[in-house]
Amino acid sequence: MGRLVDGKWINSSVITSDESGAYDRVPRSFREIVSNNHPKYQPESGRYHLYVSYACPWAHRTLIYRKLKSLESHIGVSVVSPDMLEMGWSFDKSFEGATGDELYGLSYLQELYLKADPKVNTTVTVPVLWDKKTQTIVNNESSEIIRIFNSEFNKLTGNEEDFYPDELAAKIDELNDFIYPSINNGVYRSGFAKTQEAYEKAVIKLFSSLDHLEQILEGQKYLLGDKLTEADLRLIPTLLRFDCVYVTHFKCNLRRIKDYKNLSRYVRDMYSIDAIKETTNIDHIKRHYFYSHGDLNPCRIVALGPSEIF
């Protein structure tokens, strides 16, 4: 994957670990917001552009929100290639579904980061919310981009649907704080662990957390009852990738989502939502994980199965 150090590309492993061998995710580097009250970044139709990978669960969240919140005609999108190799995310268009860079015709996502800041120190990740007016990155943290999409463009779109309502905010935050470290990031902590101890700690925590969600979903459609919320929309990209990638590639194989009565029903219900189904690209997902992680799969063999995913 590599990273930019003082504006220079340094090729390095995607796996960053702490002293115990546990995967240690690098924080995102651009953290501005879009708001009517912001002195620089106000909501405007056609001003912002979203850079994503269909493979990336964090980017998938933003694509789901872009569609759910009627933002497709207001915020453009460019889709990188699923192959993330020595130069990082690429705009190569040879894999079906990759669009190339529709704004500047760049070859690599790192060039967009350098356009924002020629001396930047950062990992080069998706999603990226780009401002065409000021020619810079507004935000590359998915959890913040989806909050922007949830509320800040409502006057433009007329779409008032709220996935983070005030009355449920505390419960959503509690669920997010539980799901992110043990499940969203837990699959990576399992797959990218460099010691047996770190792997076992992560995978046991992952499945105890999935077991807890299985109990929560007993007798209710979504995590907080009958209301689809941000907590569901942050969880589902991980679950959609679980059986087809994480079970084998990340050794998350104590159980499959398919083996859970409530979680498997939940995934099918979520996948029936157009904004989720139409932004899920299994070919990109499988190609990226099996082909890009040379440390885990040096021969780059892409698994054929499973025959049934959802």
Radius of gyration over alpha carbons of the chain, in Å? 19
Look at residue 28 in the predicted model and tell me its pLDDT: 61
Quickly list H helices, the chain.
Answer: 57-68, 109-116, 142-151, 154-157, 169-179, 186-191, 196-216, 230-241, 247-249, 261-271, 274-277, 282-292
pLDDT band for position 26 (cuts 50, 70, 90): low
pLDDT band for position 182 (cuts 50, 70, 90): very high
pLDDT digits (tens, 9 = 90+) for 44-92: 999 999 999 999 999 999 999 999 999 999 999 999 999 999 999 999 9
Look at residue 211 in the predicted model and tell me its pLDDT: 98
- Residues of the chain with pLDDT > 90: what percent? 92
Distance of alpha carbon 271 from alpha carbon 65, whole angstroms: 14
Distance of alpha carbon 64 from alpha carbon 300, whole angstroms: 29
Look at residue 24 in the predicted model and tell me its pLDDT: 63
pLDDT band for position 309 (cuts 50, 70, 90): confident
pLDDT above 80 for 16: no
Residues labelled as active-site residues: 56, 188
pLDDT band for position 5 (cuts 50, 70, 90): very high
pLDDT digits (tens, 9 = 90+) for 106-148: 999 999 999 999 999 999 999 999 999 999 999 999 999 999 9
Report, at the CATH architecture level, how domain 3-157 is classified: 3-Layer(aba) Sandwich (3.40)
Mean pLDDT score across all residues of the chain: 95
- Residues of the chain with pLDDT > 70: what percent? 95
Q: Where are the domains of the chain?
A: 3-157, 166-273
Look at residue 17 in the predicted model and tell me its pLDDT: 62
State in words which class domain 166-273 has: mainly alpha
Distance of alpha carbon 140 from alpha carbon 26, whole angstroms: 12
- Residue scoring higher pLDDT (15 or 152): 152
> Quick one: which of 284, 309, 161, 167 has its CA closest to 233?
161
> Quick one: which of 177, 203, 277 has its CA closest to 236?
277
Tally of CB atoms within 10 A around 158: 8
DSSP annotation string for 242-295: IIIIIHHHT---S--GGG-HHHHHHHHHHHTSHHHHTT--HHHHHHHHHHH-TT
CB-based contacts of 3: which residues, under 8 Å, 6+ apart? 9, 10, 12, 26, 121, 122, 123, 124
Distance of alpha carbon 230 from alpha carbon 86, whole angstroms: 34
